[in-house]
Amino acid sequence: MDTLLETAELRNELELPEKDARHVLHPWADLQALGKQQALVMNSAKGVRVRDTEGKSYLDAIGGMWCMTVGYGCEELADAIGEQARKMAYYTAFGDVSSEPAAMLAETLAELSPGDLNRVHFTTGGSTAVESAVRTAHYYFSAQGKPEKRHVLSRVNAYHGGTYLTQSLSGKAADRTHFHYETEFVHHLSSPGHDPDRDSISAEGRLKELLEEMEAEIRRLGPENVACFVAEPILASGGVLTPPDGYQKATFDLCRKYDILYVSDEVVTGFGRLGHFFASETRFGIIPDMIVTAKGITSGYQPLGALLVSDRIAESVSDAAPADKPVFSNGFTYSGHPVACAAALTNIKIMKRDDICGHVQDVGPYFISRLRELLSSSIVYTVRGDHLMACVECWTGEEAGPNAQNMALAARVDAYCQEAGLLVRPYENLCILSPPLVISRSEIDEIVAILENALTRAAEDLAAGKI
Ligand SMILES: Cc1ncc(COP(=O)(O)O)c(C=O)c1O
């Protein structure tokens, strides 16, 4: 490459943060900083590391956005994507048309999923899959002559996506601003997280409270009016909140008791993050009516989501469809996108061949136990997590929770981590971690060492009144 061209390209790259600041409205952008804040523009990645346009490398402990499983720069995945793009980049999946990768992936997902979840409705990502689940529940009951059975139960601190309905289902207080939300048929139960290190109530006591509340809410609404319960097995974006043992099974049983469909949102917990392709049955002992998956299904290499529906629901919906209008009017231009499905097939092949789930079962407990060493820091309130999803919660030592001081403290920790080449996801007073599943023990040690140092520096700033 000649020097002139190299300089021009370099200049172009250095201007990228400015172009971005001028023109992009980012998801979850800080509106007060709109146009002023320069984004970290990433442009290459390999393994567990990403590199920005200035050449600085970071260990990506966020795993993209919970989605990186087999690691960045996987040639095999890139080849599969390129091959399918060259062979047939796109064809619709509407009506009675399909593509080879979509049909093959549907069969593979049916094999990987528990019980009779054998019917796959492809979507463009997690939000569209969750929204499709709720619409399927509505169709299911409406077709049985019960259109009033349409209310949906969710939880405070849940995150189910960014569309109108999935944002309405989400229960993160920080996200509720000037947007509008569906409030007529969406209802939030309490946040189900239980922290054995910090909560004064026992796990059994908390479980009892949560179940009593859920049953009371079902009775208040009238079981004949409640269509489904949408639940992440572990609440991810809400702060890696783990319910007390037995919660998933007991809430599932309550749903069965009142003929309410159980939708397990495995957008984060699926595809290996807890050491299994799907966690619902293997970890939590339930075979839901529907499972939602996305993110790790392609290792983030292509956007794709899927709603897995039980045969029981699919057959009922099909049997009850009116003869003059038997259409399942839900889906997207990019549903079953052949390139995305090809990426997912190869991703699953790699995950199986390299036993990525086994690897997570091996390093997951190490990750959590190493992170728990950080509890010795005066500014760590708690460390919680499960396998490769975790969270370090910061506090000044006074009042726990997302108050201004605690959030400023966590932001300082994040900034020091970033300076030292580690990306953790800042959310309120939490540093959230969900590294690529191929992470090694030495890379885990690196994460912990950088975090430890960042916590020490932030604690010193706090003591010096600099926060
Ligand atoms: C549990 C859960 N459900 C759904 C979604 C929405 O997925 P997407 O952003 O692919 O639409 C997310 C995204 O973070 C999620 O964490």
Q: Is 406 helix (H, G, I), strand (E, B) or coil?
A: helix
What's the pTM value of the predicted model, to 2 decimals? Answer: 0.96
The tens digit of pLDDT for each residue in 35-64 reads 998 899 999 999 999 999 999 999 999 999
- Domains of the chain, by residue range, sit at 40-70+356-463, 76-353
Distance 162 CA to ligand 1 centre (A): 8
Parallel, antiparallel or unpaired: strands 290-293 and 261-265: parallel
pLDDT of 215 reads: 98
* Contact present, 169 and 238 (Cβ < 8 Å): no
Ligand 1 within 6 A of 125 CB? yes
Q: Find the helix or strand (DSSP H, E) in which 334 lies.
A: none
pLDDT of 15 reads: 84
**pLDDT range class, residue 3, cuts 50, 70, 90:** low
Residues 432-438: what's their mean pLDDT?
98
Spatial CB neighbours of 256, under 8 Å, sequence gap ≥ 6: 262
Residues 187-212: what's their mean pLDDT?
97
76-353 to CATH, choices 1.10.8.60, 3.40.50.170, 3.30.70.100, 3.40.640.10 = 3.40.640.10
pLDDT of 1 reads: 44
* Contact present, 368 and 390 (Cβ < 8 Å): yes
For the chain, helix (H) and strand (E) counts, in that order, are 15, 15
Neighbouring-strand partners of residue 308: 120, 291
Ligand 1 within 6 A of 127 CB? yes
Mutate to test the pocket of ligand 1, among 132, 235, 274, 295 (most ligand atoms within 8 A of CB): 295
pLDDT of 5 reads: 52
Say if residue 11's pLDDT is above 80: no
The tens digit of pLDDT for each residue in 188-200 reads 999 999 999 999 9
Say if residue 28's pLDDT is above 80: yes
- Minimal-distance CA residue to ligand 1 atom 7: 126
The tens digit of pLDDT for each residue in 278-337 reads 999 999 999 999 999 999 999 999 999 999 999 999 999 999 999 999 999 999 999 999
**pLDDT range class, residue 96, cuts 50, 70, 90:** very high
Q: How many residues does the chain have?
A: 467
CATH assignment, 40-70+356-463: 3.90.1150.10
Measure the CA angle with vertex 112, ends 436 and 313; round to 5°. Answer: 120
Mutate to test the pocket of ligand 1, among 68, 267, 293 (most ligand atoms within 8 A of CB): 267
Residues 351-375: what's their mean pLDDT?
98
